[in-house]
Amino acid sequence: MTHTFTIAIDGPAGAGKGTLARRLADHYRLNLLDTGLTYRAVAHKLLQLGLPLDNVSAAETAARQVDLSKLDRAVLSAHAVGEAASKVAVIPTVRRILVEKQRDFAKTPPGAVLDGRDIGTVVCPDADIKLYVTASAEVRARRRLAEILADIERRDERDMGRADSPLKPAVDAHLLDTSEMAIEAAFLAAMAIIDDVLAKRSGA
Ligand code: DC
């Protein structure tokens, strides 16, 4: 049997294990598998079919259909898909089906870097190297915030930049900047604008 080299990386979301895994796979010329994408693919399929995430037989079928060579990060990285993935990830038979595929991947020469939650404990208990990558909840939340900010900026750019009906204030719109306002203050400010217009109209 050919020996393959396996690096198992586990840790919570936002610890940086994905980036580390990619860098290490490049450096040591190993295959790379983000096992989170396999759970995300199952969740995405159920969402697409409009099926509940606790539909065990549909989730099993979706898990069997997962093709590790066709995991589309762009589609699967959506926040809602991640939330749904953590729900299908509790189904033991789904885990068994996906773990089987992940083990086959790990055994393919020259070996692989796999990252996830159960790589060192369940998927590849005999891995040559096991890393558990973590960071404080505060630091991970700060990193998440930076990602959310980038998401919001990308979305604004798309909404404002499209040719057909882009987002922009109408020339006669009243500007209401809520940066420093809670919702109640924003409501009062909107009301003040409206009442002012109404007063001017009835006075005219
Ligand atoms: O790492 P991620 O955000 O892509 O993972 C999505 C979900 O999949 C995560 O909430 C838990 C689950 N998961 C798992 O149970 N086991 C793994 N090896 C990888 C991910």
Domain end marker among 110, 135, 160? 135
CB contact burial 83-98 (16+ within 10 A = b; e otherwise): ebbebbbebeebbebb
Taking alpha carbons only, the member of 4, 3, 20 closest to residue 132 is 20
- In whole angstroms, give the CA distance from residue 113 to residue 119: 10
Same domain, 32 and 55: yes
pTM, two decimals, is 0.82
- In whole angstroms, give the CA distance from residue 3 to residue 143: 37
Taking alpha carbons only, the member of 85, 95, 144, 158 closest to residue 121 is 95
Same domain, 154 and 195: no
Per-block mean pLDDT, blocks of 10 residues, the chain (204 long):
88 93 98 98 98 98 98 94 96 98 98 98 98 96 92 94 96 97 97 97 84
CB contact burial 41-70 (16+ within 10 A = b; e otherwise): bbbbbbbeeeeebeeeebbbebbeebebee
Residue nearest to atom 20 of ligand 1 (CA): 36
Q: How far apart are the first and last CA of the chain?
A: 92
Pocket test for ligand 1, best of 10, 19, 35, 39 (most atoms within 8 A of CB): 39
Same domain, 70 and 89: yes
Q: How far is the CA of 30 from the centre of ligand 1 (A)?
A: 21
Same domain, 128 and 145: no
Beta pairing partners, 31: 112
Burial class (CB in 10 A: 0-12, 13-18, 19+), 27: exposed
Q: How far is the CA of 86 from the centre of ligand 1 (A)?
A: 6
Instruction: Provide the number of structural domains found in the chain.
Output: 3
Domain end marker among 88, 120, 135? 135
Same domain, 71 and 9: yes
Instruction: Ligand 1: list residues with CB < 6 Å.
Output: 13, 35-36, 39-40, 82, 85-86, 89, 116-118
- In whole angstroms, give the CA distance from residue 14 to residue 89: 18
pLDDT at residue 203 in the model = 83
Same domain, 140 and 183: no
Pocket test for ligand 1, best of 40, 117, 119, 131 (most atoms within 8 A of CB): 117
Same domain, 77 and 148: no
Same domain, 60 and 102: yes
Q: Give tens-digit pLDDT for 1-50.
A: 568 999 999 999 889 999 999 999 999 999 999 999 999 999 999 999 99
Q: How many other β-carbons are positioned within 10 Å of the β-carbon of residue 12? A: 13
Same domain, 107 and 187: no
Same domain, 92 and 150: no
pLDDT at residue 3 in the model = 83
Q: Give tens-digit pLDDT for 191-200.
A: 999 999 999 9
Pocket test for ligand 1, best of 35, 38, 46 (most atoms within 8 A of CB): 35
The domain of 48 spans 5-135
pLDDT at residue 204 in the model = 66
Residue nearest to atom 12 of ligand 1 (CA): 86
pLDDT at residue 183 in the model = 96
- In whole angstroms, give the CA distance from residue 28 to residue 112: 9
Residue 89 CA: nearest ligand 1 atom is: 15
Q: Residue 28's domain is classified under what CATH number? A: 3.40.50.300
Q: How far is the CA of 10 from the centre of ligand 1 (A)?
A: 10
Query: Please, are residues 48 and 111 in contact by the beta-carbon 8 Å criterion?
Result: no
Angle between helix 56-65 and 36-49 (nearest 10): 120
Same domain, 72 and 144: no
pLDDT at residue 2 in the model = 65
Cα-based distances in Å from 113 to 98, 122, 188, 195:
16, 15, 55, 63
Same domain, 36 and 108: yes
